[in-house]
Amino acid sequence: MKLPKIYEPNLYENDIYALWEKSEAFAPKYRGSKNYYSQVMPPPNANANLHIGYTLVVALEDIAARYHRMKGDATLLLPGADHAGFETQSVYEKHLAKTGKSRFDFNRDELYQQIWDFVALNRGNFDNQLRAMGASCDWSRYTFTLDEKIIKRAYSTFKKMWDEKLIYRGERLVNFCTFHGTGFADIEVEYKEEQSKLWHIKYPLTDGSGEVVIATTRPETMLGDTAVAIHPKDGRYKQLVGKTIKLPLTQREIPIIADNFVDMKFGTGAVKITPAHDPNDFDMAQRHDLPMISVIDHEGKLTHDVPMPYRSLDAEQARKIIVNDLKDLELLDKEEDYTHNVGHCYKCGTVIQPLLREQWFVDMQPLAKTAIAVLRANKIIFHPTTKKTQLINYLKGLKDWNISRQIAWGIPIPAFQNIEDPDDWIFDERVEEVSIEVNGKIYRRDSDVFDTWFSSSSWPYASLGYPKEPDFKEFYPLSLMETGGEILYPWVSRMIMLGLYITGEVPFKEVYIHGYVMAENGAKMSKSTGNVVDPLPVIKQYGSDALRMGIVAGRSPGVNRGYDQRKVEDARNFANKLWNVARFIEDKVGDNFKAKTNPKPKTSADYWILYKLQHLTDQVGAYIEQYRFSEAYDLVYHTLWDDFADWYIEASKSQPNNEILAYGLDIILRVTHPFAPFVTETIWQTLNGEGDSLLITSPWPKVTDIDTQKAKEFEQIKALVSEIRYIKGTVHLRDNLRLYHKGEVFLNQHGTLIKKLAQIEDIQEVRDGYGLHLTSVPFACWLDIDQETAHSFLEQLKSRLVDQKKLVERLETRLANKAYTKNAPKELIEETRTQLEEAKELGSKLYNEYERFSGST
């Protein structure tokens, strides 16, 4: 079968992927190695289209997986999708809104079913996109985060924590979005800087002896104040401790307390304490045993615990009215402009209200402690390494984790409450029931669901079927967890903690954190800005391989970088180059392409290319094992293009060796396959004709020992040819150029090749002659350029001569430095000596040429 002139990815990609799938090439299988290599892919939101960032995820994971598969390791790349609880529910709510409905029109069970159907409708996109990107993942092991095994695992984990008292139910401050009606973990709150006011309010002492001025950004919460705090060493106030304040606008009396937390320098040095609506105040209330009064409810309105005129007001509205009322009472001391950070719901932008709610919490201390110890002991290797330190710092300051969410789309919490005794909670997995009877008592199900991260923290072992499934026994701990920096804290940290807690082992041996794919101008991609790049049109235009390589090229771990279309184009050109190399070789070797394992090198070019290919196979493998993808790709790119195509194939046109051509292509196809799976497999299938061999499962190549001395001969030919090309280009000579020499064996031997590569008329042995001598090789030879033409080369000669002199000087100073000869490694000094010799020789040749031509001006 003949390869057409241009590689058109669209014509082949689908068929090639189908071929891999049909051949079960993605199933893990030991092929000559005893090692396994396993990754579970970070599950993207099942409901959304994959954005270009996920192409990077796929590319990185798939390159590593394909490499290890070819190494013979049993390789598992497990695909999955995430129900993405709150994310998906808010998408669905927007969808509902279009039909004029809202979540309040349905109960939670109804909503759950509706969202399930909604997600099922959209899920196909995800599968197809992953295929289009060439992910060699095992679809038979596809896992959804609401699969039975994942839910059961969440329940077992919850139960174990419950039994071991790591789970507790408590009334704590939670970050509450009054629009979505749910609480969030600390990490989900988005802080934004806002212009606001700092109000100074006079709080009169009960005994009438004066007043204390407090400063606040949230005057509406004063109705819930239960104390005023000052610093114990503050001379202005310390005599007031123990006295009480008559809280304005209310009839309540509240104490003045002393606490080290208070910053004397901020505001007035006196701070109102509202335990039910501020985390720091909450902590202080616990220390001083203060009452907590909720004055804002879950809808963001003032509660019935505030004086009549303020009840049911919107918090924002209440603020204005209260400030006005204080003004009227002449209790407002002053207003200052003030800029501070305010927490917002990351989805709708509503200001987050800290509210007192009963929720389930996980005591993170013991889990974090174990994780820190494991990280410190380097049981998990991080790429880049700095992420480890960041993670340890995060774990050190970790607070308890609120795992309750008041939404429908998620895993119901398997806890039931005695309807007659609110403190009596039991664990039970019958979550499909609203209420159950146990020991004659009626228990009602907690209507909340788990935070998505609670179940996904078990992903590495739950998706492998912990504890009994063979996959778990075979592939755990995972070889690599590849993921983005934004989920280092919410996900990676928790996978490590829960992995250690449940399985007693680290969940993965290495972590690779990729940077974000930013928009081309470096800004963050977001739907609202409209600068999101959709991978599918890019794949259609340039091919899947081009996108994969283009997005990996020049990218290092943990660093954000813009999407660069030029790199994709370049990669497309690379795929086409490979295609045409294959066409050329197909033409020479014929259709029955079968590369010999040990081809016989004949020419110095043969030895040279084998040497290059040996370096390629060894080094690319080493790079991938160190997860240095960009450098690996770079080496593949330049070996194919510069070495194999531009030098070896060109040389082969005058000294063909079909065995080596076929062998070289074979090696290059294998080594390129992890990066460009489609084009390499397409070529492989076309050239192998009827054969049933697949490149994807072919072994990674190994080139045996090469005679490097012979390889070096070709380096000399390259140097000679390059110099001739340079001179030709500079003096604008094209035709009829001859190279003369006085009986150099080397030039006689390689004359035909040099003639061909340098595009000159002839190479001749002569007795004597006159012309421009070449300086880059240790042979006496010259181009038959006349005096006048050679003159135009004088400038070049001069600048090269100057450079050469500088180099000689630099090397001489270095060697004259006794500290250098004393301290530097011997090989390096030896190298410097050789270098100096060569530099001197080249210098004198340049000098001679320069003298001869300048003298005759």
Partner RNA sequence: GGGUGAUUAGCUCAGUUGGCUAGAGCAUCUCGUUUACACCGAGAGGGUCGGGGGUUCGAGUCCCUCAUCACCCACCA
Which parts of 691-750 interact with RNA (CB under 7 A)?
Answer: 722, 725-726, 728-730, 732, 734
Nearer to RNA, 477 or 485 (CB): 485
The verdict on 35 binding RNA (CB under 7 A) reads no
User: What's the min distance (Å) between Cβ of 554 and RNA?
Assistant: 3
Stretch that binds RNA, among 171-179, 274-282, 500-508, 684-692 (CB under 7 A): 274-282
DSSP state of 205: B
Classified as helix, coil or strand, 818 is helix
Q: Which amino acid is at 320?
A: K
Is residue 798 close enough to count as binding RNA by CB under 7 A?
no
When binding is defined by CB under 7 A, the residue of 36, 139, 179, 641 that contacts RNA is 641
Parallel/antiparallel/unpaired status of strands 244-246 and 253-258: antiparallel
Q: For residues 206 and 821, which CB has a smaller minimum distance to RNA in the complex?
A: 821
Cβ(512)–Cβ(482) below 8 Å: yes
**Which class for 32: exposed (0-12), middle (13-18), buried (19 or more C-beta within 10 A)?**
exposed
- Among positions 312-351, residues that touch RNA (CB under 7 A) are 340-341
CB of 341 to RNA, least distance (A): 3
**What residues from 652 to 671 belong to the interface with RNA (CB under 7 A)?**
653-654, 656
Residues paired with 81 in a beta bridge: 144
> Closest separation between CB of residue 470 and RNA, Å?
38
CB of 185 to RNA, least distance (A): 9
Whole-angstrom distance, CA of residue 434 vs CA of residue 112: 14
Q: Residues 558-577 vs RNA: string with x where CB under 7 A?
A: xxxxx-x-xx-xx-xx-xxx
Which window, 51-59, 137-145, 483-491, 607-615, contacts RNA (CB under 7 A)? 483-491
In the complex with RNA, the residue whose CB is nearer, 237 or 684, is: 237
Q: Which is nearer to RNA, 92 or 454 (CB)?
A: 454
| Closer residue to RNA in complex, CB, 150/553 | 553
Q: Which is nearer to RNA, 308 or 819 (CB)?
A: 819
Shortest distance in whole angstroms from residue 114 CB to RNA: 31
- The count of chain residues that interact with RNA, using the rule CB under 7 A, is 101
**Per-residue H/E/C for 80-97:** EEECCHHHHHHHHHHHHH
CB of 674 to RNA, least distance (A): 18
- Residues 636 and 620: their CA atoms lie apart, in Å, by 7
Using CB under 7 A, which of 33, 125, 156, 280 touches RNA? Answer: 280
Site for RNA in 528-557 (CB under 7 A): 554-556
One-letter amino acid for residue 111 of the chain = L
Helix/strand/coil (H/E/C) assignment for every residue in 685-743: HHHCCCCCCCCCCCCCCCCCCCCHHHHHHHHHHHHHHHHHHHHHHHHCCCCCCEEEECC
Please state the closest distance from residue 118 (CB atom) to RNA, in A.
28
Identify any residues that bridge with 383 across adjacent strands, giving them in sequence order: 512
- Compose the 47-76 pattern: x for residues touching RNA by CB under 7 A, - for all others: ------------------------------
Q: Does 265 bind RNA (CB under 7 A)?
A: yes
Residues in the chain: 857
| Closest of 643, 667, 656 to residue 602, by C-alpha | 656
Q: Taking contact as CB under 7 A, which single stretch among the options 151-159, 210-218, 689-697, 707-715 is the one that binds RNA? A: 210-218
Cα gap 441→433, rounded to integer Å: 15
Q: Is residue 271 within the footprint of RNA (CB under 7 A)?
A: yes
Please, what is the minimum distance in Å from the beta carbon of residue 702 to RNA?
A: 21
How many angstroms separate the CA atoms of 678 and 9, rounded?
8
Contact at 8 Å (CB) between 483 and 489? no
* Amino acid, single-letter form, for residue 81: A
456: left (phi over 0), alpha (psi -120 to 50) or beta: alpha
Stretch that binds RNA, among 83-91, 259-267, 320-328, 848-856 (CB under 7 A): 259-267
Residue 817 — φ and ψ, nearest 5°?
Answer: -75, 110
SS3 (DSSP) at 464: coil
Stretch that binds RNA, among 21-29, 307-315, 589-597, 643-651 (CB under 7 A): 643-651
Residue 845: both structure tokens together: 């040749």
User: By CB under 7 A, what part of segment 751-770 binds RNA?
Assistant: 759
CA distance 728 to 746: 22
- Identify which of residues 411 and 811 has a Cβ nearer to RNA in the complex: 811
Classify 420 as helix, strand or coil: coil
For position 400 contacting RNA by CB under 7 A, the verdict is no
Provide the token pair at 563: 């999407």
CA distance 484 to 490: 11
Question: Rounded to the nearest whole angstrom, what is the least distance from the CB of residue 857 to RNA in the complex?
Answer: 23
Stretch that binds RNA, among 44-52, 202-210, 460-468, 632-640 (CB under 7 A): 632-640
Within 144-203, the residues that bind RNA by CB under 7 A are 186-187, 191
Among positions 803-832, residues that touch RNA (CB under 7 A) are 803-804, 807, 810-811, 814, 817, 819-820, 823-825, 828
Compute the least distance from the CB of residue 150 to RNA, in Å: 25
Residue 395 CB, nearest approach to RNA (Å): 11
Cβ at position 824, least distance to RNA in Å: 4
The distance between the two most distant Cα atoms of the chain, rounded to a whole number of Å, is: 122
Applying CB under 7 A, which part among 63-71, 174-182, 626-634, 698-706 lies near RNA? 626-634
Residues 257, 250 contacting (CB under 8 angstroms): no
Q: Which residues contact 262 (CB under 8 A, 6 or more apart)?
A: 229, 230, 231, 234, 269, 270, 271
CA–CA distance, 564 with 550 (Å, rounded to integer): 8
218: contact with RNA by CB under 7 A: yes
- Asked if 389 touches RNA (CB under 7 A), the answer is yes
Q: How far is the CB of 98 from RNA (least distance, A)?
A: 30
Q: Which is closer to RNA, CB of 207 or CB of 803?
A: 803
State the virtual CA torsion across 332, 338, 341, 343 in degrees, nearest 10.
Answer: 30
Q: Which is nearer to RNA, 358 or 723 (CB)?
A: 723
**45 near RNA, rule: CB under 7 A:** no
- Dihedral angle, C-alpha 678, 684, 686, 689, nearest 10 °: -140
Rounded CA gap, 782 and 769, in Å?
A: 8
- Listing DSSP states for 279-324 in one string gives HHHHHHHHHHT------B-TTSBB-TTS-GGGTT-BHHHHHHHHHH
3-state DSSP helix/strand/coil % of the chain, to nearest 5: 45, 20, 35
Per CB under 7 A, the segment of 41-49, 87-95, 466-474, 799-807 that binds RNA is 799-807
Query: CB of residue 549 vs RNA: minimum separation in angstroms?
Result: 11
- Subset of 107-126 contacting RNA (CB under 7 A): none
d(CA 27, CA 159): 34
Among 583, 670, 710, 741, binds RNA (CB under 7 A): 583
Q: How far is the CB of 570 from RNA (least distance, A)?
A: 4
Span from 23-31, 133-141, 275-283, 705-713 in contact with RNA (CB under 7 A):
275-283
Comparing C-alpha atoms, which of 439, 438, 421 is closest to residue 429? 438
Cα separation, 756 vs 750, in Å, equals 10
List the interface residues with RNA, window 585-614 (CB under 7 A). 587-588
How, if at all, do strands 738-741 and 762-765 pair?
parallel
When asked if residue 278 is in the footprint of RNA (CB under 7 A), the reply is yes
Nearer to RNA, 144 or 574 (CB): 574
Could you tell me the smallest distance in angstroms from the CB atom of residue 372 to RNA? Answer: 15
Task: Select from 161, 215, 228, 495 the one that contacts RNA (CB under 7 A).
Answer: 215
